[in-house]
Amino acid sequence: MEIVRKTIINDEEYLRQISEPVSFEKGDYKQDIELIEKFCLETECFALAAIQIGIPKRIIYLRLTNPDIELEENPEYNEGKVLINPVIISRKGKTKYWEACWSCLDNTGLVNRPYEMVIEYYNIDGNKEKETFKGFEATVLSHELDHLDGILHMYVAEQILMLTRDERKEFRKENPYEVISETCEYITKNS
């Protein structure tokens, strides 16, 4: 099956839909995960929600959640964490980061995210897990969780800049990931 990246150019309405829960009875979700992993490994993608390649299911793939690792220097690096039907249990703290997205092209947005998130999800074997994600890992995961609910980072950003991949890498050197608080109450724009 060919992997087709969905972008805001032709697919914004598609990307804004709410993804459906995975049914473990069907079993086809493992093939979906293989496609998501293939896309992540063939690109410099930190993480991906299934909807971004035309699979409107509640699946997230985390490849890189460590900001100190460069995929250009470590192209084989892959955390390979899969979260199926994730649910946010709690969030706290506040961070800021100039986020980019495979679906949103050169739109680079300054986005507030929680510093810490507790998530319940199912792993690839269908077993329920509960895990705490902190720091940059929580930022990456929060971005992907938004995708499952049809939310694009450029619509929750404080500011948007149009930056190419190379421009963004340079810009982030002067404007790195910022932890504002590890413990404050997390308040979303919609709160």
Enter the tokens of residue 59. Answer: 């699946």
One of 144, 158, 174, 182 is an active-site residue; which one?
A: 144
**Whole-Å CA distances, 111 to 8, 22, 76, 91, 95:** 18, 28, 28, 15, 8
What is the rounded distance in angstroms from the CA atom of residue 176 to the CA atom of residue 129?
31
- Are 108 and 100 spatial neighbours (Cβ–Cβ below 8 Å)? yes
Annotated active-site residue 144? The verdict is: yes
Dump the DSSP string for 147-163.
Answer: HHTT--GGGT-SEEEE-
- Are 141 and 65 spatial neighbours (Cβ–Cβ below 8 Å)? yes
Catalytic residues: 144
